[in-house]
Amino acid sequence: MIILVSNEQSLFKSNKYVVQPFEEAMKVLLPLSVVQLDTETEGLDCFTKKLLTIQLGNKENQVVFDWHSITNDEIAVLKEYLESNRVFLGWSLLFDLRFLYVHNIYPNNLWDGMLAEKLLWLGYPAGMREMSLKAAAKHYLNYDLDKSVRGKIINVGLTEEVVVYAAGDVMHLEDIKKEQDKELDRKGLQKALWFENEFLKCLTYIEICGVKLDVPRWQRKMESDYKRMVLAEEQLNKFVVKWCIKHP
């Protein structure tokens, strides 16, 4: 079931979802220990573009929060929920986290399906393995996830079509995770993924706040690295020539 939480209910009447008060929608989410998370925004830049929705849920129930119509008290409740010990599943969470950080929301326990996919494939075969949620849904679940609405959001904002689309992105992540976990266990990559997910929080902070860099010291390092590279290349060339002479 898709649930929309919005104080602009007259604009969002539909038979494709139900509109519920914030408190009622939270009753659906509170029992969950594993929660699927996604956002919809007006664009890519978290400083100049608006956050349109936050969607949370599982396979059975998806709650879409109309961000700009909920109250500050309701936002405070969402912040507490997102910063709880629940595990939040997402796809390419770096994007979503940037918008949440700007709004002073810092989720703690994260699981990024795209990072799992990258670890499993390590870039091979080059250019042949898509890292998108749509591709993962097809590969693991044989489900065709409709992403055609995504390009319209910047122009149309929050419409019935966008609400349904947003809910769809927090419906299949847990099933995809179950399939990815089988391969992660087989390849011994669970700990590696844990580190990647933890670093997400640090990387988000760096992207928003930057990082202190001693430029002269970094330039000296680059010069030193270049000299080492040239030396290593010379040694490799000598080894190849010597090997070729011995093995004509």
Angstrom distance (rounded) from CA 25 to CA 62: 9
Q: Which of 218, 145, 140 is nearest to 179 (CA)?
A: 140
Angstrom distance (rounded) from CA 219 to CA 212: 14
CA of 245: how far to CAs of 226, 235, 239, 240, 241, in Å? 29, 16, 10, 9, 6
Task: Give residue-wise pLDDT tens across range 18-57.
Answer: 889 999 999 999 999 999 999 998 888 999 998 999 999 9
Task: Give residue-wise pLDDT tens across range 199-241.
Answer: 999 999 999 988 888 999 999 999 999 999 999 999 999 998 8
Phi and psi (nearest 5°) for 41?
-135, 170
pTM for the predicted model, two decimal places: 0.81
Task: Give residue-wise pLDDT tens across range 126-169.
Answer: 667 788 899 899 989 998 877 666 666 666 666 777 888 888 88
